């Protein structure tokens, strides 16, 4: 090889060697850019076109999506988003940025950390390019969904691999498929339960409400339901709760098909008639508070419970950027060989 080529390639290689060698990509679902109908239409069009999210034949779904859903839902959803939006932006994005900053601070220069959203901005593709520009040679992807589901973690894998198909130099890759079995994660959940207990005393029932998925996902082998059951069992055990005082339910249904049961809203409506009027509710499938917790649980479901005769309804926040949640993320990354 002529000397000038070898000098050039050595120089390029040196630039890469000087940069941190590892990149961490934290991902979450994503959120609209603004709480208005046009932004919601863009976001929902991308989200609901994902075949991992809506698993019905494409031609039929396209007609329903563009002919019905995208004509009505953006306006309704925008109103709900307006009720949770903060001066800094959408809670899901703001909290995810805090999580990214805390993980980056703990890395102490050992790795570059980027945040990518599966739908909307910042996209997974842009976050991967940020890591590429930083010259990393290995990437660890941590989707911020504790319980694996094809619709969330599986879909994140699709987006990561779609972007990497365009890279000439594909990095070493480690992909984490859920972290609810990490000891520190269930420790963090148990800590939040114990803190609630110390502050408010014991409710009659602890309701563990997870985001739902269609029932056929479980029947086709998606392990999400089993991970949810396991999360409730381990967190309750660690917090010293009586298993009979804990309920596992599923929220956020979409469409007409049957979803995982029992449904959160129907359960809450039925509890007061059984003499259960004091509950605490948490939603461990969400690593960050978002529309589905701040509006659906904090407002809608609270109303459903109190209108049915319920008296005390406490929402226990998601683990968000709590230090013990960051401990769990760091331990998960560490075990992935970082
Ligand atoms: C259409 C089917 C849906 C499936 C399947 C689904 C699975 C799923 N989602 C999350 C986490 C989140 N979902 C969020 C919002 C949201 N989810 C759906 C639909 C499905 N989710 C819709 C249409 C929406 C948008 C809001 C609305 O218009 O009602 C969010 C919140 C985003 C935010 O901006 O705050 C999260 C997070 C999980 C964990 C999951 C499967 C296990
Ligand atoms: Fe969802
Ligand atoms: Fe919802």
Q: What are the CA-CA distances from residue 259 to residues 110, 178, 185, 252, 272 (Å)?
A: 43, 21, 26, 9, 24
Domain ranges of the chain: 37-84, 183-315
Average pLDDT over residues 38-47: 98
ipTM of the complex, rounded to two decimals: 0.95
Query: Does the pLDDT value for residue 240 go beyond 90?
Result: yes
Distance 214 CA to ligand 3 centre (A): 14
Which H or E run contains 300?
none
Query: Which DSSP category does 53 fall into?
Result: T
Cis preceding linkage at 262, omega within 30: yes
For the stretch 120-129, pLDDT in tens is 999 999 999 9
Integer Cα distance of 102 and 113 in angstroms: 10
Ligand 1, atom nearest to 93 Cα: 34
Average pLDDT over residues 192-215: 98
For the stretch 55-97, pLDDT in tens is 999 999 999 999 999 999 999 999 999 999 999 999 999 999 9
Q: Whose CA is nearest to atom 10 of ligand 1?
A: 211
Output b/e per residue, 56-93; b: 16+ Cβ within 10 A: eeeeebeeebeeebbeebbeebbebbeebbeeeebbbb
Q: Is 211 annotated as a binding residue?
A: yes
Span 183-315 CATH architecture: 3-Layer(aba) Sandwich (3.40)
Output b/e per residue, 142-162; b: 16+ Cβ within 10 A: bbbbbbbbbbbbebbeebbee
| Nearest Cα to Cα of residue 230 among 186, 283, 176, 286 | 186
Q: Based on the number of CB atoms within 10 Å of its own CB, is 196 exposed (0-12), middle (13-18) or buried (19 or more)?
A: buried
pLDDT score for 183 = 98
Distance 201 CA to ligand 3 centre (A): 29
Average pLDDT for the chain = 95
Q: Whose CA is nearest to atom 17 of ligand 1?
A: 252
């Amino acid at each position: 090889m002529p000397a000038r080529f070898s000098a050039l390639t050595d120089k390029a290689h040196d630039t890469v060697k000087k940069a941190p060698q590892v990149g961490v990509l934290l991902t979450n679902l994503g959120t609209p850019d603004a709480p208005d109908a046009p932004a919601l239409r863009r976001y929902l069009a991308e989200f609901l076109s994902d075949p991992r999210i809506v698993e019905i034949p494409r031609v039929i779904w396209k007609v329903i999506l563009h002919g019905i859903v995208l004509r009505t839902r953006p306006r309704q959803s925008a109103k709900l988003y307006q009720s949770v939006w903060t001066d800094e932006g959408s809670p899901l994005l703001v909290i995810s940025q805090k999580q990214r900053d805390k993980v980056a601070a703990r890395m102490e220069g050992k790795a570059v950390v980027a945040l990518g959203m599966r739908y909307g901005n910042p996209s997974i593709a842009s976050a991967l390019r940020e890591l590429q520009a930083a010259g990393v040679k290995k990437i660890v992807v941590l989707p911020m969904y504790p319980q694996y589901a094809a619709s969330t973690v599986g879909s994140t894998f699709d987006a990561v691999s779609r972007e990497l198909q365009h890279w000439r130099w594909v990095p070493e890759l480690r992909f984490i498929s859920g972290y609810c079995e990490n000891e520190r994660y269930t420790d963090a959940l148990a800590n939040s339960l114990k803190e609630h207990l110390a502050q408010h005393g014991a409710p009659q029932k602890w309701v563990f409400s997870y985001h739902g998925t269609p029932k056929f996902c479980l029947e086709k082998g998606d392990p999400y339901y089993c991970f949810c059951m396991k999360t409730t069992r381990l967190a309750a055990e660690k917090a010293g709760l009586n298993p009979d005082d804990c309920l596992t339910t599923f929220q956020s249904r979409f469409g007409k098909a049957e979803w995982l049961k029992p449904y959160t809203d129907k359960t809450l409506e039925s509890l007061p008639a059984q003499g259960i009027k004091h509950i605490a509710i948490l939603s461990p499938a969400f690593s960050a508070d978002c529309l589905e917790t701040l509006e659906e649980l904090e407002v809608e479901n609270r109303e459903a419970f109190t209108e049915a005769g319920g008296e005390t309804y406490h929402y226990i926040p998601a683990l968000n950027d709590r230090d013990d949640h960051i401990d769990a993320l760091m331990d998960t990354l560490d075990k992935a060989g970082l």
